[in-house]
Structure 1
């Protein structure tokens, strides 16, 4: 999956648990949102596969319908 910087639109790289934009020198955290209710999805990882589940009654969500957003990453 390609991730693009929300500030400049350039492709970002995956670095140590977050995305990094080389053009802006900014780090971002990715959040998967339900396409129906726009609430964050629970990420389920098993055997190398990643699935997404909406806890607001929409159940399992196909990866092709998920909306991804990017917010500034902080290491708190």
Structure 2
């Protein structure tokens, strides 16, 4: 999934919970959302691993399935 800059429509370079647009030199925060209910996920960090948990009944969500949404 490629993220698009909400300012210039260029491609964003995602790094962790932030993304950077090389075209307009802006940084954006990314929010992890559940692919099933589209609600924000709780981020669990332990021993260098990052996991995602849906508090709306979908349990642990694989990192490959997480939807990232650009926050303005």
State the TM-score bracket (shorter-chain normalisation): 0.7 to 0.9
TM-score calculated relative to the size of structure 2: 0.78
- Number of residues of Structure 1 aligned to a counterpart in Structure 2: 69
TM-score calculated relative to the size of structure 1: 0.74
The SS at the match of 2:64 is helix
What's the counterpart of residue 67 of structure 1?
67
In structure 2, stretches of 5+ residues that fail to align are: none
Compute the displacement of 1:24 (Å).
1.4
Cα RMSD, aligned residues only: 2.1
Q: Confirm or deny that 1:6 pairs with 2:14.
A: no
Task: Judge conservation of contact 1:13–1:21 (CA < 8 Å) in 2.
Answer: no
Correspondences of 1:1-76 after superposition (within 5 Å): 4-7=3-6, 8-12=9-13, 14=15, 18-72=18-72
The SS at the match of 2:20 is strand
In structure 1, stretches of 5+ residues that fail to align are: none
What's the CA shift string for 1:7-37, capped at 9, x where partnerless?
32324264xx732212112210011110110
Compute the displacement of 1:3 (Å).
6.2
